[in-house]
Amino acid sequence: QSVLTQPPSVSGAPGQRVTISCTGSSSNIGAGYDVHWYQQLPGTAPKLLIYVNNNRPSGVPDRFSGSKSGTSASLAITGLQAEDEADYYCQSYDSSLSGYVFGAGTKVTVL
Amino acid sequence: EVQLVQSGAEVKKPGESLRISCKGSGYRFTSYWISWVRQMPGKALEWMGRIDPSDSYTNYSPSFKGHVTISADKSISTAYLQWSSLKASDTALYYCARYASGIYYFSGPWGQGTLVTVSS
């Protein structure tokens, strides 16, 4: 069971906006640790998508955005495209575990 | 080009030992930490532990401590993940990932993954 809770799946039509939630606790997100997001395309290694809550690495389209509030965070994808079909993972640091933690992952399906 | 190249797929029997590798190139190997991440078939990412190649200091997830050993040989820019006695439940895809010290996310790159299959 993952420390960070994500919905198993979300879906949307091309061009739509979808959001993925990531809920933690007082020992990770609620303790002030930042949230980061990774995209894992089918059959490939994960890739950093959003870091420190709302920052995009070079090359990541601005269709992707992140936010954090309290013990939760969210990833939004606007203008959904077929190439966005992937698994998305949130990640933070947990002080009680003294290590990094991931969410269970959310599969995004483009209808 | 900065990259991490992992060793190839392995098929082992329960009880056997194994060491897989992750070779960095295109950057100063000792300036970045390396973490190992497990992905069991169809499952989520799990952080296993990390190493600072400059001094080989390690941290492990409580879930993996005592079950695996992370090491590094900075002379050949390579990090390792090893098991002394494999179990069927160790069957998974294992990734290494690079990140700078002091940050709490895996900036990358990631290795391509090493598939470990443990079966009698």
The closest CB to that of B105, out of A2, A91, A99, belongs to A91
Contact B30, B74 (CB under 8 A): yes
* Nearest residue of chain B to residue A1 (CA atoms): B44
Query: With bands split at pLDDT 50, 70 and 90, how would you rate the model's confidence at B102?
Result: confident
Quote the CA–CA distance of B61 and A97 in Å, as a whole number: 7
From A5's Cα to the closest Cα of chain B, the distance in A is 11
B101 pLDDT higher than 90: no
> Quick one: tokens of A53?
């809550």
Contact B2, B26 (CB under 8 A): yes
* Nearest residue of chain A to residue B114 (CA atoms): A45
- Of A2, A18, A1, the closest CA to residue A86 belongs to A18
Spell out which chain A residues touch chain B, with contact meaning CB-CB distance below 8 angstroms: 2, 33-34, 36, 38, 40, 45-48, 51-52, 57, 89, 91-93, 97-105
pLDDT, position A2: 86
> Quick one: tokens of A44?
């490939």
What is the secondary structure of A72-103 as a DSSP string?
Answer: EEEEEE-S--GGG-EEEEEEEEETTTTEEEEB
Contact A100, B35 (CB under 8 A): yes
The closest CB to that of B105, out of A36, A45, A105, belongs to A36
Q: What's CA B50's distance to the chain center, in Å?
A: 8
Q: Hey, is the C-beta of B104 within 8 angstroms of any chain A C-beta? A: yes
Contact B35, B48 (CB under 8 A): yes
User: Phi and psi for B41 in degrees, rounded to 5?
Assistant: -50, 120
B108 pLDDT higher than 90: no
User: Phi and psi for B76 in degrees, rounded to 5?
Assistant: -125, 15
Quote the CA–CA distance of B90 and B83 in Å, as a whole number: 9
Query: For an interface test with B, which of A68, A100, A106 has the most B Cβ atoms less than 10 Å from its Cβ?
Result: A100
Contacts of B45 in chain A (CB under 8 A): 38, 40, 46, 89, 91, 102, 105
What's the whole-number average pLDDT of chain B? 96
Quote the CA–CA distance of A73 and A20 in Å, as a whole number: 8
Q: How many helices (H) and strands (E) does chain A have?
A: 0, 9
pLDDT, position B59: 94
pLDDT, position A77: 98
pLDDT averaged over 10-residue windows placed end to end, chain A, 111 residues: 94 97 97 97 96 96 97 97 97 95 97 94
pLDDT (average), residues B93-108: 92
CB atoms within 10 A of CB B79: 28
Give the Å distances, CA to CA, from B85 to A27, A98, B57.
33, 26, 23
